[in-house]
Amino acid sequence: MAETLQADALLTLVQMLSPSYPVGAFAYSHGLEWAVQDGAVTDQDALADWLSSVLRHGAGQADALFLAAAYRADDPAEIDAQARAFAASAERLKETVLQGEAFARASAAIWQVDLPPLCYPVAVGHAARLQALPLRQTLEMFLHAFAANLATAGMRLIPLGQTEGQIVIRALAAVCLEVAGAAAAGTLDDLSSTAFLSDIAAMKHETQYSRIFRT
């Protein structure tokens, strides 16, 4: 019975955080589009380094902490307000708010959970709590989905072959586990953001003349 429940939780997370879940993640590059155009990210190794920095020192670790805080909170409204305030640019705020609203709508329809419009990591954390999904596994899969989506964006922008992109995703798996572990044991007192070039890229993207992605 325990194995069945564990398998059900795993499959629920796989579905909620899959590329086919209707949150529109494919439309967001998190500033990567500007970084590629500017020449900061030009190949497989540079993409892996960029995404590793975002995961460890930027939105990856911050969103993981917000997800964990929302998971533990009876009312996620205050966590949501903090997450919105922490967004470093207008496009970052748009990215987290629009994906969160789409996630809430889809999850309410699919899982029949009472999920208000929340920014993305807060919505995922609250949904995981409502469905009694394991926090650590939710964090790991959320971060992996985030990294995989941006790696896919990098494949299109640089461009890279699919195998090269998958090598990048595989290399980031250990980083996802590391950041998830820290977030599971941490609190919002641990919030920081030192991925400055990533933040600047997101700001520069707002006025980029020719672009494919929304952010």
Task: Concatenate the DSSP letters of all residues of 77-109 into one string.
Answer: HHHHHHHHHH--SHHHHHHHHHHHHHHHHHHHH
Q: What are the pLDDT digits (tens) for 49-82?
A: 999 999 999 999 999 999 999 999 999 999 999 9
Q: What is the pLDDT of residue 206?
A: 83
Question: Which residues, including other chains, have CB under 8 Å from residue 99's CB and lie 6 or more apart?
Answer: 23, 24, 25, 28, 119, 120
Helix 59-72 with 120-130: angle, nearest 10 deg: 40
Q: What are the pLDDT digits (tens) for 4-41?
A: 658 899 999 999 999 999 999 999 999 999 999 999 99
- CA–CA–CA angle 134, 75, 110 (5° rounding): 55
CA dihedral 129, 132, 136, 138 (to 10 degrees): -70
CB neighbourhood size of 124 (10 A): 32
- Using CB atoms within 10 Å of the CB of residue 178, give its burial: 0 to 12 exposed, 13 to 18 middle, 19+ buried: middle
Q: Which CATH superfamily is domain 31-205 in?
A: Urease accessory protein UreF (1.10.4190.10)
Average pLDDT of the chain is 94
Q: What is the pLDDT of residue 21?
A: 97
Q: How far apart are CA 88 and CA 68, in angstroms?
A: 20
Q: What is the pLDDT of residue 1?
A: 45
Q: What are the pLDDT digits (tens) for 139-177?
A: 999 999 999 999 999 999 999 999 999 999 999 999 999
Q: How far apart are CA 171 and CA 166, in angstroms?
A: 9
